[in-house]
Amino acid sequence: MGLIGGGLVDRSATGTVAKERLAFLAGLFLIPAVAALAMGGASTYVTSNWAVLIIAGLFVGLGTRIANGCTSGHGVCGISRLSLRGIVATVFYIGAGGLTVVVFKHLLGVI
């Protein structure tokens, strides 16, 4: 979701592009909000451990911008056009994610 970096952080875009990015973010926030209300709530289980939240958030933000993409950018948009970078990125982030869950859930019991 490079658009999040683009809409919230990268202020280099101006005019229509900047407006489009903000409109995209607004839709991404508002439409699920309305849908969740209509469905009588949605389930998510974000950890209440603030240390984990902050470290995870920092890593996701840093990683997404350093690698130029995340699940949607490299995973969906990259693999679908057979981009080598997209495929390599996806292998590494799924591998790292899987290992992290093993270590922090099963070995350390933090999450």
Partner 1 sequence: MAFAAGGVFGLGLLISGMTDTREVQGWLDVFGDWDPTLAFVMGGAIIPMAIAWQLTRGRTPVVGGSFPAPPEPRLGRNLVVGSVMFGMGWGLSGLCPGPAVASLSFGGVEGLVFLGAMVAGMIAAPPVKARLDTAAVAS
> Quick one: three-class SS letters along the chain?
CHHHHHHHHCCCCCHHHHHHHHHHHHHHHHHHHHHHHHCCCCCCCCCCCHHHHHHHHHHHHHHHHHCCCCHHHHHHHHHCCCCHHHHHHHHHHHHHHHHHHHHHHHHCCCC
Nearer to partner 1, 14 or 99 (CB): 99
Nearer to partner 1, 14 or 84 (CB): 84
Q: Give the shortest CB-35-to-partner 1 separation in angstroms.
A: 6
Q: Give the shortest CB-104-to-partner 1 separation in angstroms.
A: 6
Q: Give the shortest CB-2-to-partner 1 separation in angstroms.
A: 8
Nearer to partner 1, 14 or 66 (CB): 66
